[in-house]
Amino acid sequence: MNKIAIRIIAFIAIVAVIIFLVFPDIFSSEEKQQVSSEPVVASTKITIDAKVVQYETFKNDIVLTGSLLANESVQLASEISGKIDHIYFKEGQYVKKGKLLVQTNVADLEADLQRLKYTARLNAETEKRQKQLLEKEAISKEEYDIAFTNLKTTEAEIEALQAQIDKSRIRAPFSGYIGLRYVSEGSYITPSSQIASLYNVNPIKIEFSVPSRYSGLVKEGSKITFNSEAENKDREATVYAIEPQIDPVTRTLTVRAETENPDNTLIPGQFIRINLSLENRENSILIPTTSIMPKADGHTAYVIENGMAHLKEVELGSRTANRVEILRGIENGDTVAIAGVPQLKDRAKVEIKKLEN
């Protein structure tokens, strides 16, 4: 073999080694084809929590805030001006309806009243004599009418003066507790002077506002439960009055309820928390709000069947703090994904880590 042939063979061998080192895949393509021809089995499953849906009674309750009001309350004041002669009550005292609380000085009015009573007796005697003379035709009808008018005018003046005197006596318009006193005996008061307050707190009223979307569900006679900031126990009250219009500013409906308060532990002005039961629906389907995924034109949830997630369109009803009512899309007995929902896709394989019944 000549030198040229040897050089050619050596060159080809060197090129072959370089190709092998730079492009090793060329020589293993067949093996790779054999490996790649084998089927790849996907074994990844999404871990979720799920719940088996069962019919239940849906208690549609909402939590509101309100305040306590006295059953009756009034600022005691005088209808006329004058000096206080006597105060007949103590602060915090329970008084009955009609009890005399304050007496102002009306000595001048009483003196005028006494004078008019004497005049009335004289006019009454005059009218009696004039009537006898008229029957005997000793006087004219006109003379008798003058005597009669004088008598009735005096009687009317007595009634007007008696009414003024009665205004000097301030009485309790209803039974209740007297608040703090702001005047003393000897004080000169006018109709604008604040004397004290009178409260009747049994029963006691509860005032609260309901969002307008629930306005049709609140009825006279509806029951509410509430507790005050001063005690940690629930009480029950009954709705007795509803404002006939929605507040145009707050878009709420003002409602009043009342409850018994025999021990007077509930005090007007207290802040209270109210639980209002709007309606109860039998055979309702409720799922956690974590199961719901919003979309452009509605909502969806995943129902698990045979280890696979199926995307379902659902129609929602009322909501509670952490659950939502399903009106359409999920049936009794379905298994619904409640955790890990954002990772799911339609027909994804799943592994249920925790199942609630």
Mark whether 290 and 250 lie in a shared domain. no
Distance CA 239, CA 216 (A): 14
Same-domain check for residues 265 and 154: no
What CATH number is attached to the domain comprising 324?
2.40.420.20
Instruction: Answer with the one of 145, 167, 189 that is the final residue of a domain.
Output: 167
pLDDT tens, position by position, 69-123: 999 999 999 999 999 999 999 999 999 999 999 999 988 888 999 999 999 999 9
Cα–Cα distance between 13 and 107 in angstroms, integer? Answer: 144
> pLDDT per residue over 122-143, tens digit each?
999 999 999 899 888 888 899 9
Residue span of the structural domain in which 321 resides: 48-59+282-356
Tokens of 344: 């799911």
The string of DSSP codes covering 88-133 is ---TT-EE-TT-EEEEE--HHHHHHHHHHHHHHHHHHHHHHHHHHH
Residues 194 and 219 reside in one and the same domain: no
119: left (phi over 0), alpha (psi -120 to 50) or beta: alpha
- 294 HSE (CA, 13 A, CB side): 2
pTM of the model: 0.61
Partnered with residue 59 across adjacent β-strands are 280
Q: Is residue 43 part of a domain?
A: no
Residues 275 and 204 in one domain: yes
Percent of the chain at pLDDT > 90 equals 62
Average pLDDT, stretch 12-21? 66
Q: Using the predicted structure, report yes or no on whether residue 21 has a pLDDT greater than 90.
A: no
Angle at CA 155, nearest 5°, toward 154 and 160?
Answer: 95
Q: If 0-12 CB within 10 Å is exposed, 13-18 middle and 19+ buried, where does residue 237 land?
A: buried
Query: Are both 225 and 295 inside the same structural domain?
Result: no
User: For residue 232, what is the domain's CATH number?
Assistant: 2.40.30.170
User: In terms of domains, do 82 and 180 share one?
Assistant: yes
**Alpha helix positions (H), the chain:** 3-22, 25-36, 107-135, 141-166
Residue 140 sits in a domain whose CATH number is: 1.10.287.470
CB 212, CB 246: distance < 8 Å: yes
pLDDT of residue 10: 67
CB 48 within 8 A of CB 353: yes
Contact criterion met (CB below 8 Å) for 40 and 178: no
Same-domain status, 272 and 212: yes
As for how many domains the chain has, the answer is 5
Residue 291: burial class (beta carbons within 10 Å; 0-12, 13-18, 19+): buried
193 and 295 co-located in one domain: no
Whether residue 42 is contained in a domain is answered as no
Burial class (CB in 10 A: 0-12, 13-18, 19+), 326: buried
Provide the CATH number for the domain around residue 177: 2.40.50.100
CA Rg value for the chain: 46
Average pLDDT over residues 323-349: 92
